[in-house]
Structure 1
Amino acid sequence: MESPRCPMARRVPAPDGGWSWLVLAGAFSVYFVCEGIENSFGLVSAEIIQQLGASRQSIGWIVSLKCACMFFVCPLSALVCRLVDVRLVGAAAGCLTFLGFFAASFASQTWHLFLTVGMVTGPGVGTCFLICMVTICTYFDRLRATASGIALCGSGLGGLALSPLVAHLINRYGWQGTLLLSSAIYLHTVPCCLLMRPLQPQPEQHADQSPEQPKTSTSESRVLNGDSPISRHNPAEAADAAVTAATTNGANPGSASSAGWLADSLLGPLPCLPALPFPTCLPPSAEHNVGAAAAAAATTVCRQLRRCRNPALLAFHASRFLLASAAPAFFAYTADRCLHLGFGQGRAAALLAVLSACSMAGRLGFGCLGDRGLASPLAIYGLALLAGGCLVGASLAAKGFAALAACLGAAWCFVGGAVSLTTLITVYLDGTRRLFYVFARQSIFQGFGVLLGPPLAGAVFDKTGSYNATFVLIGASLATSGLLVLGIYLLLPARTVG
C-alpha cells in the first residue's frame, strides 16, 4: 500500500540469504578490526602513561574524543550516504581510520593523540559501524538479532586475537610502532565496506480488487495472521497495519488488537516512510538535486530528534547514554587496573582476551535467544545490564587474578549479550524505516555519554589513587542503564516480540 505521505514509497524485502551472508562477513570483519584494536588500546594507553607521563584523565580524554567522534559523526554520515554510494563512503571512512593511527604513531605529546586518534580515527570508525549495522538490518529480517549477534562477535574475537598481538608488538616495537602497525590493520576495513551493496528498490505490487469480491493481498493476509516482519519486531506498527487491512476488507476495526493504539499513545505515531536504507520522497526530477536531497535529509533528522519526546524512546536513549559512558571507561582502565594490582602486562593482556571471549559468547547466545522470541528483548536487555553492573561492582572483592577475571568476564558476557539486542529493540521501537537516521539519533546520546564517562573515571582515579571508586561508578552506570530498559518493558503494552 502506498504511503499517504510518500506516494512514491517503495519497499525492498530483506533477502535473509544470498548476498546477505557476504554483508554479514564484511560487517564481522569490520567489528573484528575496529573493536579489536579499540579493546586493546588499554595496553597502549598504559605505555603512554609511562612514556609520556600522561595522567589517567588525559588518557580518558583520548578514548572519550575517539568514541564521541564515532557517535557524533553518524548524523553527518547519514546525510552523506543519502547523496553518495554507501560503499564509497565506507571505503573513505576506512582510509580515515588508517590515517588517524598512522599520524598518531609520530606523536610526541598527549594532545597529538587527541587530534589523531580522537578526531581522525573516531569519525572513520563511527561511519563504518553505522553502515554495517544499518546494512545488516536491511538484509536480514527473520534472523536480524542472530545476524547482529554474529557481526558483533567480531569485536569479541578481535579483542581475543589482537590483545596478545598488541602486547607482543609493544614489547617489540614500543607503543608508537604498535600504532603504526595497527594503522595497517585498519586498512582491511576498506574492502569489507565495499561489500555493503545497497538493496535494489522494487515497486510494490497491487492486486486488482473488484468491488463485489474484494481480494486480500498476500502482505495483508500476513499482517492479519501476525506473520509479517513488522508484527515480529514492532507491535505498534503491526496493530495499525492490521486495522488498515481489516478495514480494507470490510472487517470491523474494533476487532483488531488495541496494542497499536496503546503503543501509539506512548510512543507517538510512527511515520509512514519507505523501507529503503536511504529512501527519498522527492519527485524524479529532484532525485539528483543535491540541495533538495540534503534539505529532505535534514528535515528527516529533525523529525527523528522530535521523536525523543516519547517517554519510551527517551528512556532507551538515556540507557544508551549510560552504557556509552561506562563501556569505553571499562576497557580504557581495565588493563591499567590489572597492572596497578601488580599482575603484570601478560596477565593484563590475558584479561582483555578473556573479556573479549566472554563478550563474543554473550552476543552470539543472546542474539539467538532474541530471535527465538522466548522472552521480550527489552526484559533480557535490562536484566543483562543489571547483572553486568552488579558483577563489575562485585569484582572489587576479588582477591586474585582468577577471581577478578571470572567476575569481569561474566559481567562482560551479560553486557555483550545486551548489546547484541540493540538492533532488535531499535526496530521494535522505531520500525525498519529510516534506519540510518534512527541510529544517527541514538548516536547523539551515546556521543555525549562517551564524552562524560572516560574522563570522569580517570579523574576519580587521579583524585583517589585507586580504581575502586572508578569501577563502582562504572558498575552503577551499567545497572542504571538496565533498570531504565526494564522500565520500558513494564510500560509497553506488548511485552514480547513475536
Structure 2
Amino acid sequence: MAAPKRTLYISPPDGGWGWMIVAGCFLVTICTRAVTRCISIFFVEFQTYFAQDYAQTAWIHSIVDCVTMLCVLSFLPSSIPLSPIEKARNLISITDKKSSPLGSVISNHLSCQVGIMLGGLLASTGLILSSFATSLKHLYLTLGVLTGLGFALCYSPAIAMVGKYFNKRRALAYGIATSGSGIGTFILAPVVQLLIEQFSWRGALLILGGFVLNLCVCGALMRPITLKEDHKNLPKQDSVSKTPKENLPSLSLCSPLLKECTQSCLCCSLQQEYHFLLIADFVVFATSILFMAYGCSPLFVYLVPYALSVGVSHQQAAFLMSILGVINIVGNVTFGWLTDRRCLKNSRYVCYLFAVGLDGLCYLFLPMLQSFPLLVPFSCTFGYFDGAYVTLIPVVTAEVVGTTSLSSALGVVYFLHAVPYLVSPPIAGWLVDTTGSYTAAFLLCGFSMIFSSILLSFARLLKKMKTSQVQSLDEDAGPKLQLWPNGTVAYSVAGELDHKDEDIMTSGVPGYHT
C-alpha cells in the first residue's frame, strides 16, 4: 500500500484542515467513548436476562474499557511513519522511527486512516455479534474484547492527530474533540433506552453496530501531516538503500551482524522514545492516574442501576446519563478555553487537580442522594468536572514530558487506565453484592480520586520547595563557576597563574593571611 502524501509544515498550522481533524476526532469520541458509557444502560437488562450478580455483569463494561486503554499504547501512531517499501530497502534506519513495537504494524504499514477504518469494522462486528449472545462469556468476548480492540484502533490515533495539528490552541482543540463523548452520551442515552424498549437489548446492540460503522468515515478525514522537526529526523537513505535488487542476496553474508546491529538500534530507539518513564514527575503523575482512573470508571456503570434502586424510572435514569453527557460538553469546552487564557495558562496543572478533587467530593455525597431531583445536580457537577480534567490530561502530560514525547507519553497515560478500568467496576459490584448497598463502593471511588489529587499536589509542592531551596543556595554561593558541557568545573590557566603570583608577592608580608 502506497504511503499517503504528506504536507510539510514548519510548525503545527493551528487551523485549516486541523479543524476537520478536530471534527473527525469529535465523531470518533462519540462512536467510542459515548457508546462505551451507554453500555451501562444495558446493565440491568443483562443482569436480568442472564440471572447474574453485579460483579459478574460488571465485567462486560470493564473489559471494554480495559482492552481499549490497554491497546492504546500499542496502536499509538508513529510520529515518523515509513512506507513498507522504505522499510524493505532500509534495514537499519527502520529502528530509528518513533513508534511502539506493535503500533508500527497499524500506524506505519496501514496509516492512521486505514487503522481507524479497520477499528470501526472490528467494533461494529463486536456489537453485531453481541446481539446474538447466549451467555455473559459470549459478551465478554464480543462486546468486551472485540469491540474494545476496535475502539482502541480508533481512539488513540484520532487524539494524537489533534496534537499534531495544534499548538497554541491545543487545549481548545482537545476540548472540542473530547466533548464528543459528552454530546454522544446526551443523545445516545435516551435513544438506547428507547431502542431497548422497542426492540429489546438484542435489537439495540444490532442498531449500535451499524451506527459505529461511522468510524470508517472519521478515518477518511485523518489527513497525515509532517512537521519540520519530523522531516529533519527522517532517516536518510544510505548505501544499503541504494543497493540494486540483484545485489541484495550478497548482504546475507553479514546478516548475523546486521541483525545484532538492528536489535541494538531498536533498544536504543525504544530507550530514547520512552526516556520520560524515568522522570520523577512523570512517575508521580502516572501513579495519580491509576487512582484517578479507578475512581472515575464505576459511576458510568452504576449510575443507572443506582438510580433505579432508589425508585427512579428507567427514562429518568437514562436522562441522568444524558445530563451527565451534556454538562460534560460544557466542562470540555469551557475548561479548554479558560485554560488557554493568559491568566490561567500557567495554572493548568492546578486546574486539573481541582477538577479531579471535586469529582471525588461528589462521590462522597452520592449515597445521600436518593431521588431524581437530588441526582440531577450531582450529574451536572460530576459531569462538568469530569469533562474538565479529561480535556486537561493531554495538556498536563505535555507539560510534564514536553511536546516531543507527547504521543508516546499520551499512549502510556491511556495505557495506565487499563488496569483500574478492568478491576474497579467488578470490585464495586462485589461491594454492592456483599454490603447490599452502593455506599461502600461510592466512598472508595471518591477517596481514590481525592488521593490522586492530593498526591499530585504534594509532589508539586515538594518540587517548588526544592527549586526555591536550590535557588537560595546558588545565591548564597555567590558567582557561579563556569562548567564544561560534561559537568566539570572549567579550569582557568590565567586565573591560576595570577593566584600563584599573588601568593609569591604576599608570602613575605608579615601578618598577611589568605
TM-score (norm 2): 0.75
Q: Report deviation, 1:408.
A: 3.3
Which of 362, 369, 372 is residue 331 of structure 2 equivalent to?
362
Q: Is the 8 A contact 2:307 2:370 kept in 1?
A: no
> 1:413 maps to which residue?
384
Whole-angstrom CA distance in 1 between matches of 2:210 and 2:350 = 41
**Structure 1 residue identity aligned to 2:13:** P
Counterpart check, 1:282 vs 2:280: no
> 2:453 maps to which residue?
482
Q: Report deviation, 1:134.
A: 0.6
Q: Is the 8 A contact 2:118 2:153 kept in 1?
A: no
Counterpart check, 1:403 vs 2:374: yes
Whole-angstrom CA distance in 2 between matches of 1:280 and 1:400 = 59
Whole-angstrom CA distance in 1 between matches of 2:265 and 2:429 = 42
Q: Larger C-alpha radius of gyration, 1 or 2?
A: 2
Whole-angstrom CA distance in 1 between matches of 2:194 and 2:265 = 50
Whole-angstrom CA distance in 1 between matches of 2:329 and 2:56 = 30
> 2:25 maps to which residue?
27
> 2:291 maps to which residue?
322
**What percent of counterpart residues are identical?**
26
Residues 324-377 of structure 1: CA distance to partner in whole angstroms, max 9, x if unpaired?
A: 222221101111111111212111101101111121111111111111142311
> 1:165 maps to which residue?
191
Identify if the C-alpha distance between structure 1 residues 135 and 299 changes in structure 2 by more than 3 Å, giving closer, same or farther: farther
Whole-angstrom CA distance in 1 between matches of 2:49 and 2:233 = 52
Counterpart check, 1:86 vs 2:84: no
Give the 5 Å matches for 1:235-384: 274-275=229-230, 282-285=235-238, 300-303=269-272, 305=274, 307-375=276-344, 376-384=347-355
Whole-angstrom CA distance in 1 between matches of 2:422 and 2:264 = 29
> 2:411 maps to which residue?
440
Number of residue pairs matched?
412
Q: Report deviation, 1:201.
A: 4.4
Whole-angstrom CA distance in 2 between matches of 1:295 and 1:443 = 28
Identify if the C-alpha distance between structure 1 residues 68 and 424 changes in structure 2 by more than 3 Å, giving closer, same or farther: same
Greater RCO (CA < 8 Å, at least 6 residues apart): 1
Q: Is the 8 A contact 1:49 1:55 kept in 2?
A: yes
Q: Report deviation, 1:281.
A: 5.3
Identify if the C-alpha distance between structure 1 residues 310 and 280 changes in structure 2 by more than 3 Å, giving closer, same or farther: same
**Secondary structure of the equivalent of 2:417?**
helix
Identify if the C-alpha distance between structure 1 residues 66 and 199 changes in structure 2 by more than 3 Å, giving closer, same or farther: same
Residues 304-338 of structure 1: CA distance to partner in whole angstroms, max 9, x if unpaired?
A: 55533322111211222122222221101111111
> 1:155 maps to which residue?
181
Whole-angstrom CA distance in 1 between matches of 2:366 and 2:178 = 25
Residues 113-168 of structure 1: CA distance to partner in whole angstroms, max 9, x if unpaired?
A: 11111111112112211111110011011110011011111110000000000000
> 1:66 maps to which residue?
64
**Structure 2 residue identity aligned to 1:123:** L
Per mean C-alpha deviation after superposition, the further-off stretch among 379-388 and 439-448 is 439-448
Whole-angstrom CA distance in 1 between matches of 2:221 and 2:267 = 27
Residues 185-244 of structure 1: CA distance to partner in whole angstroms, max 9, x if unpaired?
A: 111111112211111344xxxxxxxxxxxxxxxxxxxxxxxxxxxxxxxxxxxxxxxxxx
Give the 5 Å matches for 1:104-123: 104-123=130-149
Counterpart check, 1:136 vs 2:89: no
> 2:507 maps to which residue?
none
**Structure 2 residue identity aligned to 1:43:** I
Identify if the C-alpha distance between structure 1 residues 467 and 359 changes in structure 2 by more than 3 Å, giving closer, same or farther: same
**Structure 2 residue identity aligned to 1:18:** G
Whole-angstrom CA distance in 2 between matches of 1:124 and 1:380 = 32
Q: Is the 8 A contact 1:102 1:180 kept in 2?
A: yes
CA RMSD in angstroms, aligned pairs only: 2.6
Q: Is the 8 A contact 1:75 1:301 kept in 2?
A: no
Q: Report deviation, 1:283.
A: 3.3
Q: Is the 8 A contact 1:379 1:489 kept in 2?
A: no
Q: Is the 8 A contact 1:389 1:478 kept in 2?
A: yes
Whole-angstrom CA distance in 2 between matches of 1:172 and 1:71 = 33
Q: Is the 8 A contact 1:170 1:178 kept in 2?
A: yes
Q: Structure 2: which 5+ runs fail to align?
A: 1-7, 77-102, 243-247, 249-258, 469-514
Whole-angstrom CA distance in 2 between matches of 1:49 and 1:363 = 33
**Secondary structure of the equivalent of 1:77?**
coil
Q: Report deviation, 1:388.
A: 1.1
Q: Report deviation, 1:300.
A: 4.5
Whole-angstrom CA distance in 2 between matches of 1:459 and 1:129 = 30
Residues 440-489 of structure 1: CA distance to partner in whole angstroms, max 9, x if unpaired?
A: 22233211221221111111111111111111112112212222232343
Whole-angstrom CA distance in 1 between matches of 2:290 and 2:319 = 29
Which of 178, 196, 221 is residue 204 of structure 2 equivalent to?
178
Q: Is the 8 A contact 1:386 1:479 kept in 2?
A: yes
Q: Is the 8 A contact 1:11 1:275 kept in 2?
A: no
Q: Is the 8 A contact 2:36 2:65 kept in 1?
A: no
> 2:495 maps to which residue?
none
**Structure 2 residue identity aligned to 1:483:** I
**Secondary structure of the equivalent of 1:200?**
strand
Which of 13, 38, 41 is residue 36 of structure 2 equivalent to?
38
TM-score (norm 1): 0.77
Identify if the C-alpha distance between structure 1 residues 325 and 298 changes in structure 2 by more than 3 Å, giving closer, same or farther: farther
Q: Is the 8 A contact 1:326 1:474 kept in 2?
A: yes
Q: Is the 8 A contact 1:32 1:154 kept in 2?
A: yes
Q: Is the 8 A contact 2:72 2:155 kept in 1?
A: no
Counterpart check, 1:392 vs 2:363: yes
Identify if the C-alpha distance between structure 1 residues 109 and 369 changes in structure 2 by more than 3 Å, giving closer, same or farther: same
Counterpart check, 1:127 vs 2:168: no
